[in-house]
Structure formats: structure tokens, C-alpha cells
Chains A and B, each alone.
Chain A
């Protein structure tokens, strides 16, 4: 006998959405999170595009929105900006600890049972997931049996690994990140997110300033996980070099590793589904993954509902095929753009900042590179790179 229809391990955006959609369909759902407080510690710059709110019917609730964002500024190594400013809100800098808690509360409202402070390991029977072994914050241990397990346990992706999926990543498929929330800083245009590029300041990555207020922002760095440089040291160096940041206070310290490639192809194994960072469902160009995680969670929750209602676990695979025919395909395209971008020298970035406009970067971030590539074919040094991209 199963205790629950579904156990979801990890109450991040992917897990909470999966739990919510499964519960809304009438299934009994247990949503577990190892953290004592859902949404903490965050591993995130907290920028989230408007698309996530519109497509997934998330209200722009002031309880988890710090600031509206109207565009971006990307700075080449020599300081040349490429800016795009729109008349409409393009996204928000959210407060993850409130946002994640809201999503988990929505899952609870839909009927899921949510438990923070509960660390789970997969329980196998005859090589097949049968439930989870849970160790709770008060030391109590228990086994929970279920029909379907959702692995939403973040970048570590241990639950899927325990089920026999190889979720190991190459260090180069990760961005190694460090971030401060800083107050008392000056931000030139706090309606934009700011991103600083350069092989010296942030190799195979960038430094971000995401404003949460006019004088407060997440200031962070992501660099290639295979590189010898240390994210924290490079970020500290950058902050010291910027008069507008150097005297700022530190309200939060955040550390994270973000999967930027190495997408997990097999998302369903027997009665186990993998979603979010655990499945490496992240935009590999900028490292944002909240929208992808929420979308995957919703698709997974819907597939579980269908499979269990029709009594056919093979229908779980619909999640995998839905993902790969839509967002999975999009992320593969974006990965190509990143593979191009990571080959650029500082000189080439400086050149591109003079040729490309904000719109070109928007298209690139969506994986559409033809127009942007067309603008640089005249540059002899870049031609070889463009050929590779196309």
C-alpha cells in the first residue's frame, strides 16, 4: 500500500509546481525539502522574466517582488554598453525566500502535504523506486511509500542518481557562482539589470548587478566551473575596483553552482521523474532557471496526474517528450549560442558591443542567432566563429 500517490523531493520552483499540479488533479502528494526554511539558502540572482508570471499565472505579488525591471545593460570588457530599455515591465527581481514559499504554499493549498526540514533518500525495491527514506529535523526517521517519485532536489541531483540515472556533470557544465546582496551602493540605472562581461573579470561567465531597490542589489559572479579562478576572489576584486560598489554593505552572502549544459536526456525512469536543476533545465546562456524549472514541474505534475488516473505509468513519459519537443529544444539552441560566446576574446566582445544592439542580445538569449550572426560576417576574425555557430 502506498502512503501517497506522489512524493516530491525538493520544494524549489520545480518541485512545488509539480506537487501543486499533481495535487490539483486530486492526487495525494507529499512535498519534502531538506532545508529548515523553504527558499533558503538561495542559489540565485533573483531575476525572473515576465513570461514566467504570464504563462504560469503567477500574480505579481508585492510580497515577493522587489523591483520591476524594464531592460538590461550588458557591458563589454572596455565598458561599452549594449542597452535595451522597454516601455513595459520585462521582469522582476524577486525575493526567492518569499517566492519559493509562496509556490510551496500554493501546493499546500491545492492539497499537497508540505514538510520542510525533511531530508530524503530514495528507497528502491527490486531496483525500482518504491518511496523515500526521510530523516526529519527533529531526528525522527521514517519510510514513505508512493507510486511516483519526483526528483526536484537541485543541482546535486542525488535522487535521480540513486534511481540509476547518471546525473554527474563535467565541471565545465557548471557555473561556479558567488553573490552578495549589497545595500548603500549607487546604481546608474536601477530599472535595468546590469551585466559585465570579460575574460579577466569573469571568465566564461559574467558579473551581475540586479537592482532590488534604488541603492540595493544582488551583485554576483558566475564563472566556468572548470576554471582555476575562484568565483569569490574575482567578485571581491571587481567590487573593490568599482567606486559605486566598494563602500556598500553586505546583507546576504549566497553561493551556488548553476548547471549550464549537460542537460539530462532521460527525464523519466520507471516511476521517477526529474525536474529543474536536477535535470539541468537552465538557460545555459545566462544561467537563469526558475522559469524552466516551474514549466518542467507543471508538465511533470500534469503527466503524473494523467498516468495515475489512467492507471498507466508509461504515460509519465509524456513529460519527457513534451519537454524535449518544446523547452528542451530551445535550451539546446541556446547552448549553441553560449558555446559561441565562450570562445570570444575581450577584443571581440568590445567589437561586438559596437555592432550589436539590445534587440540582438534578446534574440540570442532565446537561441535565435541568425540576425546577430549576419551583422558580424564582415569581421574577418569572427567569420570562422560565425561559421561554427551556423
Chain B
């Protein structure tokens, strides 16, 4: 799932424990691999993945 408005900084990729995020020209989260741990949201300078992984966890 593409992260809307992503600036492409790559922090989420570095912290993702399951390797669910790929970054080519913006973050792309593989929801099959995502564990919903929210680390990507925590590290994101603008908390962008929040609706995606948050929705998954909730």
C-alpha cells in the first residue's frame, strides 16, 4: 500500500522489523508483512503511515 504524501526519507525502512516497507519514490508498505508495530509512524517526521498501519492494528 502506497503511503500518501510520503517525502521518501527512508526512516521507516530502516526501523521496520519485518522488512515490510520498500522505498523507491515513496514508501510502499506490504500489509502481508506488516506486524502493525507502528515503529514507522513513530520515526516518520510527519507520522504519515499512521492511517495505514493504524487501521490495520485497529
Contacts and interface: CB of A to CB of B under 8 A. Distances in A.
Nearest to A262: B14
Interface in B1-45: 7-17, 19, 22-25, 39, 42-45
A176 B10 CA distance: 10
A187 to B, nearest CB: 24
Interface residues of B, number: 23
Interface stretch (A99-107, A167-175, A298-306, A325-333): A167-175
A170 B9 CA distance: 16
Contacts of A214: none
Interface in A99-157: 119, 154-157
Contacts of B7: 41, 253-255
A257 B19 contact: no
A168 B17 contact: yes
B14 A230 contact: no
B24 A171 contact: no
B16 A257 contact: no
Contacts of A257: 9-12, 14, 43, 45
Given A156-B14, A168-B15, A168-B17, A174 B43 contact: yes
A226 interface: yes
B46 A154 contact: no
Contacts of B19: 161
B38 to A, nearest CB: 10
Given A41-B7, A225-B11, A257-B11, A231 B24 contact: no
B45 A154 contact: no
B44 to A, nearest CB: 7
A170 B7 CA distance: 21
Contact of A226 (B12, B17, B42, B47): B42
B11 to A, nearest CB: 3
A171 B39 contact: yes
B14 A157 contact: yes
A230 B8 contact: no
Interface in A227-275: 227-228, 230-232, 253-257, 259
Contacts of A253: 7
Interface string A350-370: 000000000000000000000
Contacts of B43: 171, 174, 176, 225-226, 257
A83 interface: no
A154 B10 contact: yes
Contact of B15 (A119, A225, A230): A225
A227 B43 CA distance: 8
A43 interface: yes
A190 B19 CA distance: 43
A34 interface: yes
B15 A169 contact: yes
Q: Select the residue from A156, A161, A167, A226 with max chain B CB neighbours within 10 A.
A: A156
Contacts of B24: 34, 119
B27 to A, nearest CB: 10
Nearest to B6: A255
A232 B46 contact: yes
Nearest to B22: A158
B51 to A, nearest CB: 15
Given A119-B24, A154-B10, A257-B9, A171 B42 contact: yes
B10 A156 contact: yes
Given A177-B45, A255-B8, 20 more contacts: A41-B8, A43-B9, A43-B10, A155-B9, A155-B10, A155-B13, A156-B13, A156-B14, A157-B13, A158-B22, A168-B16, A169-B15, A176-B11, A178-B45, A178-B46, A225-B15, A227-B42, A255-B46, A256-B45, A257-B10
23 contacts: A41-B7, A119-B24, A154-B10, A155-B9, A156-B23, A168-B17, A169-B14, A170-B15, A171-B42, A171-B43, A174-B11, A176-B11, A176-B44, A176-B45, A177-B9, A178-B46, A225-B15, A226-B42, A228-B42, A231-B45, A232-B46, A255-B9, A257-B11
Q: Which 3 A-B pairs have the closest CB atoms?
A: A257-B11, A255-B7, A231-B45
